[in-house]
Structure formats: structure tokens, C-alpha cells
Amino acid sequence: MCTDTCPCLDYGENPSTKEMFQKDVKKLARHNRTFDEKDESKVFMKFTKDKKEGFRSFDDCYDKWYEKSMQDANIDIDKVFVVKEMTASELMRRGKRGRDDDDNDEDEGPRGHGFDSAGDVYHHYGNREHPQW
């Protein structure tokens, strides 16, 4: 999310979604993200206010790319969203990575520490089929 492939939609005010992300320095560091376009050592957080270009969630972005891939044989959805397959033990260890020294979990996502978005999970829809299939 928040990449050239899936730019995040910057919506809301005081604070906007972009402003909320900019304030969470620990989360940016943990996910190797930056708002500095010149910092090539991290992934740039791309936001847009254009509702035709930006996405509110990974699900919305994936669905849009899936639709594009159904209309254009040159788009391979598995190449657009390359995800590393993880073993069960890797998934267990992933939940323990990146904790602060004080072991504070107040920023822990619904899937546990380090699983803040669907993009962090091996297979987006788990054992279920994609709703459009």
C-alpha cells in the first residue's frame, strides 16, 4: 500500500490520513517506509487526493488490479503482487519482530504486531476464493 502500484487515498481533515501516517515515526521505521522521495533506502509513501487514482485499502487496490488483469492478458496479477511464501514458524517469528525495548504493544494491529495490513499476509484471501472468481 501507498506505492506506485497502490497509492493511498489521502482523505479526511485535521488530520488527514497522510498526516496520521507522517506522525507515526515508529511504524514508518518498522515497515521501512519514508515520506522523503530522495531516500532510496526505504519505500516512499505515495498519497493522492485523486479518488480515481488512490485506494482506501489493500483490498480495493487488489480488486482493481484483478479487474485490469481480466481485461488485459498482459497484466499478470501474480507479478503485480509478488508475495513471499512463509512457513508457519516464519509467521510466528514475524509476530515477535520489531518490538520496542519497552515491549509496548499499543500500536499493535488487529492481526498482531507487524500485521497492520492485508499486504503483510502471505495469501490475501487465505483459504477462501477471491469473491470475483
DSSP 109: B
| pLDDT value for 52 | 93
pLDDT in tens, 73-131: 999 988 898 877 778 887 777 665 544 444 444 444 444 444 444 444 333 444 444 44
Half-sphere exposure of 127 (CA within 13 A, CB side): 0
Contacts of 56 (CB under 8 A, 6+ apart): 8, 9, 11
If you search the block for the grid coordinates 485490469, which residue do you land on? 68
Q: Is 124 left (phi over 0), alpha (psi -120 to 50) or beta?
A: alpha
Give the mean pLDDT of 51-61. Answer: 92
Domain ranges of the chain: 1-56, 76-133
Q: pTM value?
A: 0.59
What single letter denotes the amino acid at residue 128? R
